[in-house]
Amino acid sequence: MTERSTKHATFTVERSFPAPPSRVFAAYADARSKARWFVGPDDWEKSNLKLDFKVGGRESVSGGPPGGPIHYYNAIYQDIVPDQRIVLTYEMHMDKTRISVSLGTTEFKPAGQGTKLIYTEQAVFLDGHDDAGSREQGTRGLFDNLGAMLEREPAKN
Amino acid sequence: MTVRNAKHATFTIERVYAATPARVFAAWANKDAKAAWAYCHEEWVPSVHTFDFRVGGREHVVTGPAGGTAHIFDAVYYDIVPDQRIVYAYDMHLDRRRISISLATVEFLAAAGGTRLVFTEQGVFLDGYDDVAGREEGTKIGLANLDQQLRQQRAA
């Protein structure tokens, strides 16, 4: 029988990007654009990202190391303010086990010619799986990907 | 133009109930039982309540003072472990204005004399509607109503 436990945590990541809020927001709102940065390590196998970017819409993607467990991400969009804010909830499964449920707030603020992005995740980690430290580290990796994409293509959507 | 901001907050409330975890869980899992305690204003009669208690299912409640602002609760159930745990996300609207989105964890732990319930809310309060203390107070009222309901069931 599974030993049940919960661990609650909150973390915040701030990044500055040399692109305007509309450009950074578009990297979230467009499925093809998001699929290019919202991905795990290069050697992971991955599914196609599905995105229905509207309040109440869903997003899903999965992936994992070759031969290893599959990580499933499933999100529901809760609040969208164009070029300014996105709030979603998401759950992660490792194979068939639900390991966490999270509330993620992304704020896009103009800063000079660019954007200050503030991401706040409030999460509950279930039954001893995962932890806030590795989740934050993984999230920072995604923002590294986003930053690299925006540097390569500062104006394009 | 609406000024946009987001205030994040977390609060935890613990209560001990003189009933088994199965009984306390049932008060969250059944529509009529939940409707009898879950609202912080006794005089507010919900005009709508739909309840689909399963993972991925939704709950929708419209309530509020007669002729006044509608308070709209929309939840989706993320995790249900019978008699042990419920995790759900919900948003609140006042009329058409979305004021908050929250992640709520309810844990039902066997304790001497009954059940220790641990309620944790992690929320983002939007655009100046940042009355976290009011949310916590309203939740405490609901959890006190639940105590009354469980006592009445035991006495009946």
- Please tell me the pTM assigned to this model: 0.95
φ, ψ for residue B18, nearest 5 deg: -85, 60
* Average pLDDT of the segment spanning B7-21: 97
Say what angle helices A21-29 and A132-152 make with each other, to 10 degrees: 120
Beta-carbon-side half-sphere exposure of residue A105 (alpha carbons within 13 Å): 23
Helix (H, G, I), strand (E, B) or coil at B46: coil
Q: What ipTM does the predicted assembly reach?
A: 0.93
User: A102 to chain B, minimum CA–CA distance in Å?
Assistant: 7
What pLDDT shows up at residue A153?
Answer: 81
Whether residue A84 lies within 8 A of chain B, CB to CB, comes out as yes
Is residue A46 a contact partner of residue A61, using CB atoms and an 8 Å limit? yes
pLDDT band at B1 (very low <50, low <70, confident <90, very high): low
User: B55 to chain A, minimum CA–CA distance in Å?
Assistant: 11
Q: What per-residue string of b and e applies to A116-150 under the rule 16 or more CB within 10 Å gives b?
A: bbebbbbbbbbbeebebeebbeebeeebeebbebb
Is residue B27 a contact partner of residue B149, using CB atoms and an 8 Å limit? yes
Q: What CA–CA distances, in Å, run from B49 to A136, B121, B148? A: 37, 22, 22
pLDDT band at A156 (very low <50, low <70, confident <90, very high): low
Q: Tell how strand B58-63 and strand B71-81 pair up.
A: antiparallel
Tell me the range of A72-76, B30-34, B43-47 where mean pLDDT is highest. A72-76
- pLDDT beyond 80 at A130: no
Contacting residues of A for B76, CB less than 8 Å apart: 76, 89
Residue from the list A4, A76, A87 with its beta carbon closest to the beta carbon of B85: A4
* Average pLDDT of the segment spanning A14-26: 96
Residue from the list B8, B79, B98 with its beta carbon closest to the beta carbon of A122: B8
User: A95 to chain B, minimum CA–CA distance in Å?
Assistant: 16
Whether residue B10 lies within 8 A of chain A, CB to CB, comes out as yes
Q: How many CB pairs under 8 A join A and B?
A: 76
Check the CA dihedral B148-B37-B124-B86 and report its sign: positive
* Number of residues written out for chain A: 157
User: A21 to chain B, minimum CA–CA distance in Å?
Assistant: 14
Whether residue A81 lies within 8 A of chain B, CB to CB, comes out as yes
